[in-house]
Structure 1
Amino acid sequence: MFKPTKRHMAKKLLLMGCMVVAPSAFAQGLPSTMTWSSYDVGSAGYAEASAIADAFGKKYGTRVRIQPSGSSIGRLQPVLQKRADFGFLATETYFATEGLFDFAARRWGPQDLRVIAGRPAAFGMPTAKDANIRNLADVKGKRVAFVAGNPSVNVKCDAVLAFAGLTRHDVDARMFPTYGAAMSSMAQGQTDATCTSPTPSQMYELAESPRGIYWVPLPESDTQGWKRVKKVAPFFKSFEETVGAGISKDKPVPLMAYRYPVLVTRADMSEEAVYNFTKALDETFDMYKDATSVMPRWKLSDAGTPPIDAPFHPGAIKYLKEKGIWTDEMQKWNDDRLARLKVLQRAWQKTKSAGEDKSDREFEALWKKNRQAAIAPL
């Protein structure tokens, strides 16, 4: 019979001690390895995903592989095909659940996605100060920069205009081939206003240029304005921004906030897996909150609340309830958002059956009609 020596026992005790003190993904309920999708390397989304992944690795020993992509399809497809556990996505989450733009194509339709949390990201209308636009009504007839082939930016800009009851037809809409060109157009004297977040380098350049910068205020008190916004982009909420070009804690500006990045997974991801992920996101907050100037906004009392691009996952809701964040009002929002998604999915199935023999263009036109009819009563 084997009799352990003192040396053998010492090695065994040392190994047991290491198992106690070493970070353990399994102790938290996380897998030892995970894959996340995100925007390209160099983007805010990639930087924030990397900071959170680093915290997970240090605290739990979880190894995270981040799969970057410059396209909405490229970021979402790995999640849907179960090649990525979670996605650090943007407004494509809303488009995918609504069957809009790229997702109106026959191969897509409304996707069964759920969110865990999303960092508030401010969005508004910066103007050249010398254009004398002091409120949104003043933008009527002015030159406004849009980005060709970028529905994410353009739909948000439509929502900003809707705040004042305006549309693109009420302004001199100038289309630019790239985001950078549109953002630079004011400093170059080509336009008077655009729509963006407060921190792109081009906004700082505008602030330092002879034209100067002015952010049009979007006050929370304008209830009618916000009703119009919600009809165009229901994921927006009021937000007082303190960081950005021409903005500071001493000179805050009331703007809109959407979620970027928004943490997304599939509806069929297990409740336990999402609960454990949400808990890990919360428990490592102090480890990543200083990684960038906006990382403190990942605090779950800010990031784990609606409105957001898709319904919350039950696993996330379970943890948010435990933390005292989730309210009856939030549950009502989530129930309504889930009901809307199911209505759209039924309309999609109806469209697929009726449009089987139609061309792609005819199919998308039929879907547009059926989609509008389905959501009109909501």
Structure 2
Amino acid sequence: MLRRSIFASAVVALFACGSAFGQAIPKEMAWTAYDTGSSGFNIAVAIGQQFKQAYGSDVRILPSGNDTGRLAPVKAGRAIISQMGIGTYFAQEGVFEFGTKSWGPQPARLLMSATACNGLGLAVAKDTGVKQIEQIKGKRVGIVVGSPALTQGALALIAFGGLTQKDVTLVQFSSNNAMWKGFINNEIDVALTSTISGQSKEVDSSPRGILWPPMPADDKAGWARVHKLAPYFVPHKATCGSGGLSPQSPVAMSSYAYPIFMTFADRSADDVYAVVKGMIDTYDGYKDGAPGAHGMALSKQNLEWVVPYHEGAIRAFKEKGAWNDAAQKHNDGLVKRQQVMVEAWKAYAGGAPGDDKAFTDGWMKARAAALTKAGMDAVFE
């Protein structure tokens, strides 16, 4: 226990004291990531191996199966970076598991993320005859209890076809794996997943088969409905994965970056700069080290997404000629959005009700009111 405590203290000291260590990558770092064996974990390991080889830096990957478990060590200073999914956005917004007394809106900052050839969207059983999202009306849509990413995502994507929760039957499962067993066993017809997930490949080889309803980028009305519920989805041309996807047979659908390397706004700009520069400079060494790692290329970074970049990352991007005035203006707007929510939290939390449900319900109303007053979309209402 003492050795672990000493290690944690050393990690915090190395990351916090940018002025003392200049712009060199810390010699020891702890990162959090998805569970061992996940694509995100494997990408983090591949990058860590290159950091060891190129800079002599030891990167320790701490796996966790949920968003709060990944962010808690960063919040407490025991890890310096978290490799997240869309929970990054939920943390910024202070919603779902981050809308509780112990969390609230977090000052999330991006470093880099991966956008690969796969899509992330609605998988539909081929035996349903559905080919367009509007045809999902009346079908059974799988969701997972305690997984707002899957539930919110599915509801947002059916909105592309003008559908709401009332137009489908939501079927709850206890886990993602259970949901996909239900898919194969004809208990549901639709579920949200990646085109390269093992589950989608399993369904593809089953008697039911799989397809991905298109979401053309030029359908502005459809995408406006999606973004009203989930602004983090972006149009994407998927060229790999189940359902016969390939560069020769692509599908215009939805996606968002994964994994997302992030930290908090107050972390040393020098050290974040050094880490991001290291990710860029060692790219050729790790891009083939794990499936999806090639999506970490600098050219694939979405500089105008829904979470702001850390000032240290921006410095690295500017050095490489990748940052521009439009990206800076967009980033400034996102930082302002976070400030509105943080101030709303401070004003609300002090005199909020003690009951957990009443606290969260009250916070969501206070949050929406503050964002609306600032002329910003509340999204979660």
Q: TM-score, length-normalised on structure 2?
A: 0.88
CA contact (8 A) 2:22 2:270 kept: no
Q: What's the counterpart of residue 7 of structure 2?
A: none
What SS is found at the alignment partner of 2:194?
coil
Read off the aligned partner of 1:279 and give its amino acid letter.
K
Mapping of residues 81-96 of structure 1, within 5 Å: 81-96=76-91
Q: Pick the aligned partner of 1:375 from 360, 365, 371.
A: 371
Separation in 2, partners of 1:342, 1:328: 21
Separation in 2, partners of 1:244, 1:306: 26
Q: What's the counterpart of residue 3 of structure 1?
A: none
CA contact (8 A) 1:117 1:305 kept: no
Mapping of residues 282-361 of structure 1, within 5 Å: 282-303=280-301, 305-308=303-306, 310-355=307-352, 357-361=353-357
Percent of pairs with identical residues = 39
- Do residues 363 (structure 1) and 359 (structure 2) align? yes
- Do residues 129 (structure 1) and 123 (structure 2) align? no
Q: What's the counterpart of residue 222 of structure 1?
A: 219
Q: Pick the aligned partner of 1:62 from 45, 57, 62.
A: 57
CA contact (8 A) 1:217 1:254 kept: yes
What SS is found at the alignment partner of 2:288?
coil
CA contact (8 A) 2:43 2:291 kept: no
> 1:304: Cα distance to partner?
5.2
Q: What's the counterpart of residue 18 of structure 2?
A: none
What SS is found at the alignment partner of 2:196?
coil
- Do residues 273 (structure 1) and 271 (structure 2) align? yes
Q: TM-score, length-normalised on structure 1?
A: 0.89
CA, structure 1 residues 347+271, in 2 after alignment: closer, same or farther (shift >3 Å)? same
Q: What's the counterpart of residue 258 of structure 1?
A: 256
Q: What's the counterpart of residue 77 of structure 1?
A: 72
> 1:197: Cα distance to partner?
0.9
CA contact (8 A) 1:116 1:304 kept: no
Read off the aligned partner of 1:96 and give its amino acid letter.
A
Read off the aligned partner of 1:226 and give its amino acid letter.
W
> 1:228: Cα distance to partner?
1.6
Alpha-carbon RMSD across the aligned residues, in angstroms, is 1.6
Separation in 1, partners of 2:179, 2:356: 31
Mapping of residues 163-182 of structure 1, within 5 Å: 163-182=160-179
> 1:28: Cα distance to partner?
6.2
Separation in 2, partners of 1:210, 1:68: 35
Read off the aligned partner of 2:220 and give its amino acid letter.
T
Separation in 2, partners of 1:168, 1:70: 27
Separation in 2, partners of 1:294, 1:29: 27
Deviations 1:85-107 (A, max 9, x none): 11111122111111111111112
Separation in 2, partners of 1:162, 1:335: 29
Deviations 1:274-319 (A, max 9, x none): 11111100000000001233211100121352314x2110111111
Number of residues paired by the alignment?
351
> 1:132: Cα distance to partner?
1.3
Separation in 1, partners of 2:329, 2:213: 32
Read off the aligned partner of 1:91 and give its amino acid letter.
I
What SS is found at the alignment partner of 2:115?
strand
